[in-house]
Amino acid sequence: MITRRRTLALLASAALPGKSLAKAADSPFLKDQLAAGTMPDLAQRLPRSPRVIDLGAMGRTPGRQGGTLRMLIGGQRDVRYIPIHSYARLVGYDQDLNLGPDILDSYTVDEGRIFTFHLRDGHKWSDGSDFTSDDFAYYWNDVVMNTSLRRGGPPMDLKVNGVVAKFEVLDRLTVRYSWDVPAPHFLPRLADPIPQPLMLPAAYMRQFHANHQKPDILAELCERHRVTTWARLHKKMSRQNRPENPDLPTLGPWLPKTAPPAEQFVFERNPFYHRVDENGTQLPYVDRVVLNVSSTEIITAKTATGESDLQATGIGFPDYTLLKEAESRYPMKVSLWRRTQGSSVTLLPNLNYKDDVWRGLFQDVRVRRALSLAINRTEINKVIYYGLGRESADTVLPESPLFKPEYAAAWASHDPDQANALLDAAGLQNRDIYGRRLLPDGRPAHITIESSGESTLETDVLELITDHYRAVGLSLFTRVSQRDIFRSRATGGEVMMSVWQGLDNGVPTADMPPTQLAPSSDDQLQWPVWGMYYMSAKTSGKAPDHSKVLELVSLLGDWKQTKTAEERARIWDDMLAIRADQVFSIGTVNGALQPIVRSSRLRNVPDEALYGFKPTSYLGVYLPDTFWYEEEP
């Protein structure tokens, strides 16, 4: 290994000063294709100005190409983790959550409303075809604006105040999106784990589009792919979130080679990938990623027997001891990262619950505060998290620049006396002979809390909270239902209280939209009906009638008009303060730990980092394409 690394280093040192980064040795994986002449040289495959990842500056070491990364997934649909982990985006966050260009060569923002994107010259899709503004134009004209493909019109994220962006092609490598008003959410939306797409490989996709293909050929294709309309065919063939079509060219580091159904999904390196390390070696380092489908329950067991080279999904904190003990038996290493959720187990009283009495109570801030004060977070932290979590309300983490200690401490101490006093004041003062509180209309105050039952952690925390609530005269019953059923019942206002994770993104910067703090989606279980109202652009659901919630909605609206970072930070502050004071979600412990298992030969995986869907895109911002294998000893 040393010799090879040294060779590479020598090559690189020779290559670095000049602009000819592409002189680095080409991947041995492509040797046969290169020899046969079916694959162009590295210099022709890379963009003229590739994205150079300076691993040395990141405190990592540049490595060598090769090897296969095995991962375990819980079902075929979980191939969707690959685009999330690999995190090739037009713009993306780096490790410190600063936004920067990735696939784009550069971008400019004028007046917060005009976004000009510059592509890399010579950038190619994974099939070798050019990646140009034509691909953006195709997506815009033939997908976004096509009424057959998008019945509901252009996506919400491309609209501001209901007005869709203006799209212009400036030249072969430059496109522009602009609105009349600022659109601060636009770039962060492109950096999401599941981004708003803006382009498709036009050369490939045109064959599935009615505007570019003869109807009889299209009909034949529909039949071959077993779909009824060309719109479905187009959707099926262009799915980028779930790489199920091996023929769809991509810009990501690994290409799918397997179409479902399969028990094993193989991804191979993209020879046209746009990132290189400081030595000019093309990324990704790892040649192949192999996803093995197994059942969710045994992912832990398989990981603990060394069957995965990099595992983060499907394992949880309770599995840590088992995994750590397996370290001595298998060549693997386990590290603990911090999860980014605002609270790892959160109680969400449904402010839209169908029962009038309960809805009234949950909309009463005293009840929500009492429910929060009654919880003994210290016990939860000690029993469930070995004291390693942080007792906190459901708010941002200390890692976020927006954090303030008072948010975390708001109504989060254990104070049963105050909780009792608040509940008495809120009209729950009557009790039955067992000391259980009665509702104003005489019914016993039974709270039914619904859980998807997916983690034993949740069940255990609930068990502790049940006792805490009993001490203030409330009885808590848990009902477990399957995730989808649970969500659909919640949307219908049939769930009284649910247990879920806290804020999706606990480490936001002011530039990330505070969407999660105000009603904006029907999966916000504390106000699903209000969330539905805004998600559906006021076509379904109900408008909120709660003054503090309306305040959040208007602040979110204000944020979308902002031009400067200071304004954004101020709005974030206001919203977080309202959330903390109003306790719309009842947090327990945050900063919970997530075990990350890797092969002990795999280098460049950070030992400590943040783990979450947003904003880190699971492993995404830590650049799994820069992980590499040491040679076997």
Partner 1 sequence: MSAYLPKPGAPLDHFVSDTPFDPDATENNAEQRAVAAQASQLKLMWWHFRRHKMALWSGIFLIVIYFTILISEFLAPYDLHSRNTDFLYAPPQAVHIFRDGQLVRPYTYGRDVTLDMVTLKWNYADDPTDIQPLRFFCHGDRYEFWGLFKADLHLVCPAEGGQLFLLGTDRLGRDVLSRTIYGARISLTIGILGVMMSFVLGIIIGGLAGYHGGVFDLIVQRVIEVLQSIPSIPMWMALAAIIPVTWSPILVYIGITIVLGMLDWTGLARAVRSKLLALREEDYVLAAQLMGAKSSRIIGRHLIPGFMSHLIASATLTIPGMILGETALSFLGIGLRAPITSWGILLTEARSVNIIALYPWLLFPVVPVILVILAFNFLGDGLRDAADPYK
By CB under 8 A, residue 112 contacts partner 1? no
The length of the chain in residues reads 633
443 within 8 A of 430, measured Cβ to Cβ: no
- Residue 600 interacting with partner 1 (CB under 8 A): no
Joined tokens for residue 414:
């254990």
Q: Beta 106-110 vs 166-171: how paired, if at all?
A: unpaired
Contact 47, 22 (CB under 8 A): no
Nearest approach, Cβ of 460 to partner 1 (angstroms)?
6
Question: Of 269 and 598, which has the nearer Cβ to partner 1?
Answer: 598
User: Which residue number, 232 or 324, has a Cβ lying nearer to partner 1?
Assistant: 324
**Residue 463 sits in the site that holds partner 1 (CB under 8 A):** yes
Q: How many helices (H) and strands (E) does the chain have?
A: 21, 26
- Kindly report whether the peptide bond that precedes residue 184 is cis, defined as omega within 30 degrees of 0: no
Does residue 574 touch partner 1 according to CB under 8 A? no
When asked if residue 466 is in the footprint of partner 1 (CB under 8 A), the reply is: yes
Contact pick of 386, 399, 492, 554 for partner 1 (by CB under 8 A): 386
When asked if residue 486 is in the footprint of partner 1 (CB under 8 A), the reply is no
Task: Please tell me whether residue 298 adopts helix, strand or coil conformation.
Answer: helix
Q: Using the rule CB under 8 A, is 321 a contact of partner 1?
A: yes
| Binding test (CB under 8 A) with partner 1, winner from 34, 383, 421, 550 | 383
Q: Which is nearer to partner 1, 74 or 197 (CB)?
A: 74
* Helices of type H across 516-564: 528-535, 547-559
Closest by CA position to 161, among listed 607, 625, 623, 557: 557
Please tell me the distance from the alpha carbon of residue 426 to that of residue 432, in angstroms, as a whole number: 17
Within residues 229-268, the interface with partner 1 by CB under 8 A covers none
Which among 199-207, 269-277, 278-286, 293-301 is the span making contact with partner 1, rule CB under 8 A? 293-301
- What distances in angstroms separate CA 355 from CA 133, 370, 450, one per listed residue? 54, 20, 16
Scanning 94-102, 204-212, 365-373, 379-387 for contacts with partner 1 by CB under 8 A, the matching segment is: 379-387
Does 601 participate in binding partner 1 (rule CB under 8 A)?
no
Tell me if 325 contacts partner 1 by CB under 8 A: yes
* Cβ distance to partner 1 smaller for residue 235 or 382: 382
C-alpha 601/C-alpha 156 separation (Å) is: 44
446 near partner 1, judged by CB under 8 A? yes
Nearer to partner 1, 13 or 600 (CB): 600
Minimum Å gap between C-beta 514 and partner 1 is 35
H-helix segments, 161-264: 186-190, 202-205, 215-224, 230-237
Q: Would you say 582 or 594 has its CB closer to partner 1? A: 594
Q: 283 or 312: whose CB is closer to partner 1?
A: 312
Residue 406 in the binding site for partner 1 (CB under 8 A): no
CA distance 72 to 310: 8
Q: Is 452 in the site for partner 1 (CB under 8 A)?
A: no
Structure tokens at 387: 């004291």
The only residue of 163, 170, 181, 301 in contact with partner 1, by rule CB under 8 A? 301
Decide: helix, strand or coil at residue 561: coil
Question: Minimum CB separation from partner 1 for residue 291, in Å?
Answer: 21
Residue bearing tokens 């602040």: 555
Q: Is 306 in the site for partner 1 (CB under 8 A)?
A: no
The answer to whether 358 contacts partner 1 (rule: CB under 8 A) is no
Cα(503)–Cα(516) distance, integer angstroms? 7
From CA 180, how far away is CA 191, in angstroms rounded?
Answer: 22
Binding to partner 1 by residue 398, rule CB under 8 A?
Answer: no
Straight-line distance from the first to the last Cα atom of the chain, in angstroms, rounded to the nearest whole number: 10
The reply on whether position 436 binds partner 1 by CB under 8 A is no
Q: How many residues bind partner 1 (CB under 8 A)?
A: 30
With a CB cutoff of 8 Å and minimum separation 6, the contacts of 566 are none
Q: Give Dmax over CA atoms of the chain in angstroms.
A: 87
Residue 263 phi/psi, 5-degree rounding, is -95, -15
Nearest distance from C-beta of residue 480 to partner 1, angstroms: 6
Q: What are the residue ranges of helices labelled H in 254-319?
A: 299-303
Contact between 157 and partner 1 per CB under 8 A: no
Q: Which stretch binds partner 1 (CB under 8 A): 89-97, 285-293, 453-461, 559-567?
A: 453-461
Q: Find where tokens 């009790």 sit.
A: 431
Residue 298 binds partner 1 (CB under 8 A): yes
Should residue 379 be labelled a site residue for partner 1 when binding is judged by CB under 8 A?
yes
453 sits near partner 1 (criterion: CB under 8 A):
yes
Rule CB under 8 A: is residue 382 a binding residue for partner 1?
Answer: yes
Shortest spacing between CB 429 and partner 1, in angstroms? 22
331 lines the binding site for partner 1 (CB under 8 A): no
β-pair partners for 323: none
Residues binding partner 1 (CB under 8 A): 297-298, 300-301, 304, 318-322, 324-325, 379, 382-383, 386, 388, 446, 448, 453, 456, 460, 463-464, 466-467, 477-480
